[in-house]
Amino acid sequence: MHFRPALGVYSRLGTMGILGRVVGVQGARIGIPRSMFHHSESTLAYAFLEAMGASPVLSPPTNRRILERGVSLATDENCLPMKIHLGHVDAIASSVDRVLVPRYASQEAGHDDTCVKMWAAHDITRNVFPDLDVVGYDVDTRFGSDERGAMIRFGRELGVSRAAARRAWRTADERRTSERRAAQAEQEKLLETDTGRPRVLVVGHRYILDDDLMGRPTLSCLGKQDVTVLRSDRVDIQRSRELTKALSPTMKWVYNQEQVGAILALRERIDGIVMLVSFPCGPDSLCAELVQRRISEVPVCVIVLDELTGTGGLHTRLESFCDIVKMRYVA
Amino acid sequence: MSEPRRVTFPHMGDYWVAVKSIAELTGCEVVVPPRITRRTIELGALNSPEFVCVPFKYNLGNFIEALDRGANVLCQVGGGCRFSYYAEIQETILRDLGYDFEFVRFEGGGSILEIVREFRDKAAPHVSMARVAACFWHAFHMGEAIDAVQDFIRKNGGFETAPGTMRDIEARFLHELEGAKTRRYVDDLLGDTLALLRAVPLQRPERPLRVQVVGELYVVMEPFSNYRVEDELARNGVEVHRHLDLTTLIRNSISYRSHVKEMQRHAAPYVTYHIGAEGTESVARTLDALRGGFDGAVHLKPFGCMPEVNAMTAMQRISREHTFPILFVSCDAQAAETGLRTRVEAFVDMLRAREAGLINA
């Protein structure tokens, strides 16, 4: 049986070199699924590969075909984002040399980590597409592998020099930071200027809010309701996480800390909360319960997303929720 | 609280006997929750979030039933997945229901050594550390005795000439174990029980079907939640093997890191990275069963269990590539014993047909 290192960065590139296949990063077509980590870490991986001279190929925005492929490929109890992820991999599999699916387990020291789906995304992809060359890097600070180190090692395995990989990481990281800051500043400006309308905070994982099939219908429907739409991912992440720890010390999922923290940071400035939860998301099943039980001063609407794409029911619920919010706002 | 402290904890299999002894020996009054029934899970499901995994619902049901019987100190531990967040949400739900209680959460980071210390600090501050450690050690020993007896029954119960004899012996054993105060008593009782079990007449085929049970710890260890699938397999004449039991789990938690790495080695090449909680272990044990010449595996998990759904993708690939039969069972709050019985019978029939060379796939 082929031996693979148990931990740390793994890629099959090494063995490919022995087999005589051309190994080199220049122009290598590396696919990036437009799902999960692509949204949660913004454009980090894309910018990193680009800066090293590779040709990253991003899968198209989620559409029904991607969803249908994902649903048929995935084990049926997987969460909706995982199904969509597999649909994205399928969409680019034939047009790239390899597909990048990194593992984000824990980014900062301490016990805080991500949902175990994120831990397994790499292996799930490999097992669903056994013939596809799936590469990745492992971000798990509990086992001594931070994001920067893991990505630089990954760059080295792709065949670039350490210095070039470092430079590429810095470029990519700066781009991620500036994008996040810009989004936060935009929302802050919206909070200051757009007054006289009720404000609705949409809470959800980045990979749900940014997705064309999961988050977009809700955001665009709310956009037509004469309310100011705010997003939980456009709030200062560090502050959000600290606020969450005060309310719920044992919640350890960083993405959920960000979401609950956004509610806490804005609780006096918002008039309604729409929570987008995918079925059957593990962390959200408990965190949505916490929000519903602990946040009583603002109306909360929890919307559970599944693979049905009809938007009629969604619009009715959002419209009636906005009516409640507006009535309370006037009163 | 001016009332006396009455401690309770959620059920899992028959381990309440051991857990109860820790609390009693350290001088706490204990309220053992009533045995799990339909009512337990209905109470739990009624008050739980909609798609939380089913152990949460059982635990909550146990707590409600124990609170109704006068318990006022609830104990809960945590683990590597959603389990780590159970305690806080359960406490919130129970307070919203209007109960008055003290909630003791053992974080422990998955390590039993930490839990011992925390137990002393939070539940028995008047008792010396050495005494608490001794009580845990005694309880661990009781757990080992329970595991040894039940392991024997799993492997042999399917071949009894008078079905049910072993379960009767087990019931007497558990009843007597409840009064065990010393290690010697436990050892003697275990010796006697195993002797009784070995004396049960068996009609064992030369090469019986062997099935490995893998999966999520709670539904694997709590027979009520898995519709007694192990008994069902035994009834169909299968030798049931299982790696996961409470004492093994505790041993693994002490050497967590090296255990995870070992499991990753066993699970290669289907798992590169640890996929959470017992997920990697499920894949590893399935591969072990395949290499060890087992006839099949049964995978148990609560509906939507994150680590085990991760493991399923790898296990499905193993099953496909090596034509290794695996029965996947998803457990939730509904009663589905008849459906499961049919599935187990069909699974065992298929194993027999394979064994006899009637089907090749």
pLDDT tens digits for range A230-266: 999 999 999 999 999 999 998 989 999 999 999 999 9
Does residue A281 surpass a pLDDT of 50?
Answer: yes
User: What's the pLDDT score for residue A24?
Assistant: 62
How far is A217 from chain B, CA to nearest CA, in Å? 23
If one counts the domains in chain A, the total is 2
Query: Looking at chain A, how many residues does it have?
Result: 331
ipTM over 0.90: yes
Domains B6-127 and B205-361 equal at CATH topology level: yes
Interface membership of A1 toward B (CB under 8 Å):
yes
B308 near B281, Cβ under 8 Å? Answer: no
How large is the average pLDDT for residues B80-95? 92
- As a whole number of angstroms, the longest Cα–Cα distance in chain A is 74
pLDDT over 50 (residue A19): no
- Where does the pLDDT of residue A26 fall: very low under 50, low under 70, confident under 90, or very high at 90 and above? confident
Strand partners, A200: A229, A272
**C-beta atoms of A120 and B273 within 8 A:** yes
Contact yes or no for B104/B74 (Cβ under 8 A) = yes
Residue A287 is assigned to a structural domain of this protein? yes
Could you tell me if A172 and A44 are in contact, meaning their C-beta atoms sit under 8 angstroms apart? yes
Residue of B nearest to A121 (CA): B310
A321: distance to nearest CA of chain B, Å? 21
Give φ, ψ of B100 to 5 degrees: -115, 120
Do residues A99 and A222 both lie within one domain? no
Instruction: Look at residue A119 and tell me if it is in a domain.
Output: yes
- The whole-number pLDDT of residue B3 equals 74
Q: What is the largest CA-CA distance in chain B?
A: 70
From B52's Cα to the closest Cα of chain A, the distance in A is 5
Whether residue A4 lies within 8 A of chain B, CB to CB, comes out as yes
CATH, domain B205-361, list 3.90.230.10, 3.40.50.10800, 3.40.50.720, 3.40.50.11900 = 3.40.50.11900
Q: What is the pLDDT of residue A107?
A: 86
What pLDDT score does B118 carry? 84
pLDDT over 90 percentage in chain A: 81
**Mean per-residue pLDDT for A5-12?**
38
| Percent of chain B whose predicted confidence (pLDDT) is above 90 | 78
Percent of chain A with pLDDT over 70: 92
Closest-CA residue in chain B for A1? Answer: B269
Q: Which CATH architecture has domain B6-127?
A: 3-Layer(aba) Sandwich (3.40)
Nearest of B218, B76, B193, B78 to residue B142 by alpha carbon:
B193
Residue A10: which pLDDT band, with cuts at 50, 70 and 90?
Answer: very low
Identify whether residues A32 and A103 lie together within a single domain: yes
Mutate to test the interface with A, among B82, B219, B258, B313 (most CBs of A within 10 A): B313
Q: Is the model more confident about B112 or about B145?
A: B145
- For CA atoms A46, A48, A51, A53, give the dihedral sign: negative
Asked whether the beta carbons of B72 and B102 are under 8 A apart, the reply is yes
The mean per-residue pLDDT over the stretch B18-33 comes to 89
Give all strands (DSSP E) within A148-291, no chain letters: 199-203, 228-231, 272-278
> Which residue out of A3, A83, A103, A285 would a mutagenesis test of the B interface target, given it has the greatest number of B Cβ atoms within 10 Å?
A285
Q: What's the average model confidence in pLDDT over B329-338?
A: 85
Domain borders along chain B are 6-127, 138-204, 205-361
Nearest CB among A119, A280, A290 relative to B274 is that of: A119
Identify the band that residue B111 occupies on the pLDDT scale cut at 50, 70 and 90: low
Same domain, A211 and A101: no
Task: Pick the residue from chain B with its C-alpha nearest to A127.
Answer: B314
Same domain? A163 vs A207:
no
Residues A48, A108, single domain; the answer is yes
Place of tokens 């290192």: A5
Three-state DSSP class for residue B103: strand
Range of the domain at A301: 194-330
Mean pLDDT on B257-281 = 93
Residue B107 pLDDT: 74
- Which residues on A lie below 8 Å from B321 (Cβ)? 130
**CB of A225 within 8 A of CB of A87?**
no
In chain B, which residue's Cα lies nearest the Cα of A279? B51
A315 and A210, same structural domain? yes
Say if residue A64 is in the same domain as residue A199: no
A116 touches chain B (CB under 8 A): yes
Is the same domain home to A160 and A285? no
Looking at A141, A175, A209, the residue that finishes a domain is: A175
Percent of chain B's residues with pLDDT above 70: 98
Domain with A285 in it: what CATH number?
3.40.50.11900
Residues of B in contact with A120 (CB under 8 A): 273, 275-276, 279, 307, 310, 313
Closest Cα partner for B55 from B79, B34, B31?
B79
Residues A170, A232 within the same domain: no
* Tokens at A97, concatenated: 């040399």
Minimum mean pLDDT among A104-108, A302-306, B143-147, B160-164: which range?
A104-108
Rg (C-alpha) for chain A, rounded Å, is 21
Residues A134 and A84 in one domain: yes
Q: Are residues A19 and A158 in the same domain?
A: yes
- Count contacts between A and B (CB, < 8 Å): 136
Q: What is the pLDDT of residue B77?
A: 86
Predicted pLDDT of residue B348:
97
Q: A128 touching B, CB under 8 A?
A: yes
* One domain, residues A33 and A120: yes
